[in-house]
Amino acid sequence: MCVFCQIIAGDIPSYKVYEDEKTLAFLDINPVSVGHTLVVAKGHYSNLEEIPFNELTALISSVQKVGRLLKDKLGIDGYNVTENNDPVAGQEISHIHFHVIPRFSGDSLDPWPRRGYELEEAERILKKIIG
């Protein structure tokens, strides 16, 4: 049983932020910023491709509720929502979850360093994606 399934079952304690029939949200124990919350599906699905659509809509609805809750209660300026899909993308627990990361003006978090495309690279990539 994965660590998130153990948290959902109540075998491991957590700081619950929100819960409904299909989802659970709790504070991340290694937060990027104060209030960093994980929103998990109660069903065990490894990643975004595995979760059924109805479960995914319930999960993203809870992400929206948690974001609103953090804005209302913590007075944050905004938040990032991320889902790391598979280990190469930074997924440490093989159980679908979203991070809701509070942001404050001037916090200097830069989660997306950018790079441009080389000449004609975008066209080559697009052709691979859409055929």
- Dump pLDDT digits (tens) for 39-81: 999 999 999 999 999 999 999 999 999 999 999 999 999 999 9
Catalytic residue among 36, 95, 97, 99: 97
Q: Any catalytic annotation for residue 97?
A: yes
What domain count does the chain have?
1
**What is the CATH number for 57?**
3.30.428.10
In this structure, is residue 114 part of a structural domain? no
**pTM of whole model > 0.85?**
yes
In this structure, is residue 53 part of a structural domain? yes
In this structure, is residue 10 part of a structural domain? yes
What per-residue confidence (pLDDT) applies to 124?
86
Average pLDDT over residues 1-16: 96
Residue 21 scores a pLDDT above 80? yes
What does pLDDT average to over the chain? 93
Exposure string for 80-89, b = 16+ CB within 10 A, e = fewer: bebbbeeeee
